[in-house]
Every structure is written in structure tokens, then in C-alpha cells.
Amino acid sequence: SFFFRERVKIIQILILFLCVVWEKFSSQSNFDRKMYHYGTFPEGFSWGISSSAYQIEGGWNADGKGPSIWDTFTQTTDSIPDSANGNVACDSYNRLNEDLYMLRALRVKSYRFSLSWSRIFPDGTRKSLNQKGVDYYNRLIDGLIAYNIEPMVTLYHWDLPEALQKVSGWENAAMIDIFNDYCDFCFATFGDRVKFWITINQPQTIAWSGYGLGNMPPNVVDPGYRPYIVAHNLIKAHAKAYHTYDDKYRQVQGGLISIALNADWFEPADVNVVREVVTADRAMQFQLGWFAHPIFKNGDYPDALKWQVGNKSEIQGLPQSRLPSFTEEEKNFIKGTADVFCVNHYTTRVVSYLTAELQPHSYEWDRDLRETDEPDSPTTAIPNQKAVAWGLRRLLNWIKEEYGDPEIYITENGAAVEWDDFERVMFYKAYIDEALKAYDLDGVRLQGYTATAFMDSFEWLHGYKFLFGLHHVDFTNPDRPRTPKYSAHYYYNIIKDNGFPLPDDDKMLYGHFREDFMWRTMLTSCLTVLVWFKSVTNTSSIHTHPYFVFKFHCSLFHTSNCL
Ligand code: BGC
């Protein structure tokens, strides 16, 4: 009928609108997406590097620190390679000056680190305050400020005080107030110097790995229910901490506050098939939108989640959706609770539609899709984490379109490589260049980039097997000596240049050739260069060499006698 046709039309228009980013890049050839782009980032761009407390500090029980769920987990499990733990890690608790020295040498503008909650409040609450823990962070923050490095502070990077896990951790809605009180203390104590706060690191990882897969602490295996409950509490806890900052501290302290959300880029298996593109969008909504939609849009979950989980729950014969819902009041409380968009990004996955099984009930199956590796990109040391630089540009465009053009900070990006640090250099070169394209060509309001990681550290479930550091740490030596890798030098240069300015040699020369200039000769010599380049480099990648492509195009296609 007429109404049906109209509805279909509206849905099609909506889908096209929704999928604007895939549409925009669908005509980009493999050649185009690897092209190198010269340019620089805006003035004042925040170049940073990151770490987190459990990964580097060590001193797991020093000076009154209480245990966290990661202490308990690593000390009792066999599932981490070499039974590794963060008891000593990089020993940053005792090597603060070395860390500060390295940060200064790197000339970063910001340093992203996290506070260990149980170092400050050993039992998770204010009554257990440990002044020595506070002193450590004061020394770190003061040291950074003295070197003109902005502290970018994560309040919670996965290391929940064990005492709070004993009262059910994030499953318990009481955590919202408990977290708020801890944040309130930190704002009051450090906020005179800290102007960039991140409440929670990767809530999606906490909810899914901690309570769905159960491979991370608190190791609860309940893929269909508890991830949704935990996420619900995390979102409310974040919103409450935001309001506390907003109401009590912002006016005097003048900082900003956000949350660091992890996002892969999901590329459809076939960009020309609407259903596949919608599937890719759904994958984005399930991972990033789960948290970003309530916080950056309307206080509520994305439609994709509400429909998928709601419909599945119904077919599964459940009395209500496994996805909890927010009241109107809660929606208003959550909406708009981030000043900037902070995103952690590591890889791109290819997805295709799949009618998933109904059992077991699972967040993963709720998505109705299958994931595979991107076939044409280099691997990194970690399976499933291919280095797909062009995915970052698309992700940034997607965030721009989806969330109303927010200011964006990349708060983590990096790679573990098997042997050769040169591969890490190539990773940064390619990824930062894609970030540059997003800023320079697509108008994404990118304000900062954070390389992960500051130094080789305890990499969670990978222990010390896969390392992300720009500085090498000798974990066999009790002094934990640190040495900059080639990637640190490379990153230093990117920071110094504020990106990739076009080298003087490659700048175009304007002017005229002689009247009788022989263009045919030019073309011949150009082809000669091509043959020569191929023979000396023995590479087929000549086509992607930016210098060559540029000159070749100039030579071939300029028909007038000038450039
Ligand atoms: C975490 C970082 C970690 C990185 C690599 C991210 O998900 O937020 O703490 O270093 O993964 O393992």
C-alpha cells in the first residue's frame, strides 16, 4: 500500500543518512587509501603518551596501598603468560624521576596516566585515605607541570579496589555514589593542577571482558545479562562524577572532563550491499554507541541495541529486555556529560550479517554479525589486531557525523610488534597520517593524539609477552632500566614538526619553462626514472611513493607550459 511504500522509502533514506561515512569512502580505491598526505595539525595540538597505574607502577602493597582486583587476579591465576603480574612492573612508584625525565626528553605536551584508586583509598572509600598514595600523585603532577606537560588523568583504569569487589563491584548500583565520592576527592585534591579528567577507561571492556567473557577480573562469565547491568551502572557513575565536577569544581578549576571509549572501525564485507553496511553500523553502535549514544546524544541507548536486545529477549521468551532502560530523569542526567570525545583505537574488523543463534543469551550474538580480519593489512603481534590505518580516518569521520562534530582526542593508539621496532614506526607514521587526513581533508575537529604506550608495561592478559612501549624496559634487571626505542625518536620528530610538513625539496616550484621546452623529453625522462626506481629499489610499491606519484602526475598531465 501507499503507506508501506512511503515507510520503506523513509527507512531507505534513513539508512543512507546513517551510512554516510561508508558512502563517502566507498569509492576510495586501495591505492587512494594508502596515499600519503603532507600537512600539519592545528597549533596547540595535544601530543601525548599514555600509561596506566596497574601497568607500570608496581609497589602493589607499598606504603599502605590496598589490593585491587588485578592484584588478586594476577596473583592467583595461571592464565597470563609466564604467570606475570604487576607487582613490580616498571617500578614507576619508585622511579618517578626517571619517568619524568623521559617524558621531558620526548617533548610531549601531555601525559595520560591513571590513579590507582586503592593506593589513594585502600578499601575504596574515603575513610581509608592513604596520604602516601596522595603524595606520590602530587609529586607526579607537580613534576609534569614543572616540565610544562599537561596531566591527563584517568580516574579509573580497571584496577577496582578489591574491597569494593567484595560488595559486588560494578554490578552493585551503590558503586555510583562510591565512585563519585572517590572522584570528588580527586577533583578537590588534584584539580588545582589537573585540567583534563577522564572518568573511566574503556567501559565496554570492563562490561564485556569482566562480566561477559569473564577473562578479565572480576572474571564473571555471564554474556547475556551482566554486561548490560554493569554498563548501566558505569554510565550512571560516569554521569554523576561529571555533574560533581560541573557543579562543584569547574568554575574555579576550569578543566574539562570526559570518558575514554574504545572503538574499532567496522568495515562491511561488501560496501555495496545495504544490509552489510547496516550491519557495520550496528557493530559500531554495540561497541562505541552503547556508551557514546547516551552520553553524547540523548541519554539513551542506540536504537540498534534497544531493538536487537529487545527482540531477541522476546523470542527467547523472557518477560523483559535484557537491556535495562533509563528513566526520563536519568536520560536527562546522562545526556551531554562529556566536554570532548575521547576515543581509544587499535584496529579495524570486517563484519558481515549473520542470523545469530539464540542460545546462549549473549551480547555478542545480540549483534547478529560475524567478524573477520581485514585481509590486506599488516599484522601486529596480537592476533585480531591488524594495522589498518585507513580505518582510523573513517572512525573519526563516523564520530563526527554521528555525534554532532565534537572535539575529539585520540586517547590511545599503538601496536605491539613481534621483533622489530621499525614496524611500530610504520604503524605510527600511517595512523597519524590518517588522523591528519581526517583533520585536514575531512574537517574533523581533532585536538589531540596519544601514543600507547609510554614504555613497555604489563599488558593485562598478555602479561609482558606483547609490548607496546616507545621505551624499552629491561624487566630482568631490578633497576628496570628504560631505553628509548627508534619509535620514541620518530614520535619526537612528529611532535617537533607538529605532523608531516612537506619537505622543502618537495614543495612545488612555480614558474615557466623556456618557450622551446621539449615536453616529450620530460615524459621520456619520467618513464626512465620509473624504470630506474624499480630496478634499484626492486619494489612494486613505487606507485604509492608520494614523491614519485606527485612528480609523475605533474609531468604527465600538465599540458600548458607552466606549473
Ligand atoms: C588498554 C591499555 C592497554 C592497551 C593494549 C587498551 O585496551 O586501555 O591499557 O595498554 O589496550 O593492551
pLDDT of residue 550: 38
Segment 362-386 shows an average pLDDT of 95
Query: Which residues are known to be catalytic?
Result: 412
The number of the ligand 1 atom at minimal distance from the alpha carbon of 262 is 7
Ligand 1 centre distance from Cα of residue 347 (Å) = 12
209, 344, 347, 385: which to mutate for ligand 1, most atoms within 8 A of CB? 344
**Global pTM value:** 0.89
pLDDT computed for residue 422 by the predictor: 93
Please tell me the distance between residue 52's alpha carbon and the centre of ligand 1 in angstroms: 9
Q: Running DSSP on this structure, what letter comes out for residue 378?
A: -
Decide whether any atom of ligand 1 lies within 6 Å of the 447 Cβ.
Answer: no
Query: Is residue 103 within 8 Å of residue 454, measured between CB atoms?
Result: yes
* Predicted pLDDT at 34: 85
Does ligand 1 have an atom closer than 6 angstroms to the CB of 468?
yes
Q: How far is the CA of 272 from the centre of ligand 1 (A)?
A: 34
Q: Is 54 in the pocket of ligand 1 (CB under 6 A)?
A: no
Residues 316-361 have pLDDT tens digits of 999 999 999 999 999 999 999 999 999 999 999 999 999 998 999 9
Nearest 10 degrees: Cα torsion 209, 211, 213, 215: 60
Q: In this structure, which residue's CA is closest to atom 5 in ligand 1?
A: 459
Per-residue confidence band for 559, with pLDDT thresholds at 50, 70 and 90:
very low
pLDDT at 539 over 80: no
Specify the pLDDT at position 400.
Answer: 98
Taking the centre of ligand 1 as the mean of its atom positions, its distance from the CA of residue 10, in whole angstroms, is: 41
d(CA 90, CA 59): 10
pLDDT of residue 186: 98
User: DSSP code of 68?
Assistant: B
Q: List Cβ neighbours of 325 (8 Å cut-off, separation of 6 or more).
A: 300, 301
List the helix and strand counts (H, then E) for the chain.
23, 15
Question: 15 CA to middle of ligand 1, Å?
Answer: 33
Place of cell 629499489: 537
Q: What is the mean pLDDT of residues 188-213?
A: 98
pLDDT confidence of residue 4: 58
Supply φ then ψ for residue 524, to 5 degrees. -60, -45
Q: What is the pLDDT averaged over residues 514-518? A: 78
Q: Is residue 3 predicted with pLDDT exceeding 60?
A: no
411 lines ligand 1 (CB under 6 A): no
The residue whose CB lies within 8 Å of the most ligand 1 atoms, and thus the one to mutate among 205, 427, 458, 459, is 459
pLDDT tops 50 at residue 561: no
The residue whose CA is least distant from atom 3 of ligand 1 is 459
Confidence grade of residue 534 (pLDDT, cut at 50, 70, 90): very low
Instruction: Quote the percentage of the chain above a pLDDT of 70.
Output: 89
pLDDT at residue 543 above 80?
no
Q: Which residue has the higher pLDDT, 28 or 68?
A: 68
Distance separating alpha carbons of residues 94 and 2, to the nearest angstrom: 73
Whole-angstrom distance, CA of residue 272 vs CA of residue 31:
19
List, for residues 441-474, the tens digit of each pLDDT value: 999 999 999 999 999 999 999 999 999 999 999 9
What whole-number percentage of the chain has pLDDT above 90?
82
* Ligand 1 site, residue 454, Cβ cutoff 6 A: no
pLDDT exceeds 70 at position 1: no
Sequential DSSP letters for 71-82: HHHHHH-S-SGG
Q: Ligand 1, residue 382: give the atom nearest the CA.
A: 12
Q: Is the CB of 453 under 6 A from ligand 1?
A: yes
DSSP string, 166-213: TTTGGGSTTHHHHHHHHHHHHHHHHTTT--EEEEEE-HHHHHHIIIII
Q: 344: Cβ below 6 Å to ligand 1?
A: yes
| pLDDT reported for residue 331 | 98
In the structure, what pLDDT confidence band is assigned to residue 554 with cuts at 50, 70 and 90? very low
DSSP 473-536: E-TTSTT--EEE-HHHHHHHHHHHHTEEPPPGGGSPPP-B--TT--HHHHHHHHHHHHHHHHHH
Instruction: Determine if ligand 1 sits within 6 Å of the CB of residue 117.
Output: no
pLDDT digits (tens, 9 = 90+) for 480-514: 999 999 999 999 999 999 999 988 777 777 778 88
Q: Looking at the CA of residue 52, tell me the nearest atom of ligand 1.
A: 9
Ligand 1 midpoint to CA 459 (Å): 7
pLDDT for 541: 45
Supply the mean pLDDT for the chain: 91
Evaluate if residue 535 carries a pLDDT over 80. Answer: no
Q: Ligand 1 in contact with 456 (CB < 6 A)?
A: no
Comparing CA positions, the residue from 532, 244, 504, 259 lying closest to residue 406 is 259
Cell of 170: 560494578
φ, ψ dihedrals at 129, nearest 5°: -40, 130
The pLDDT of 533-552, averaged and rounded, is 42
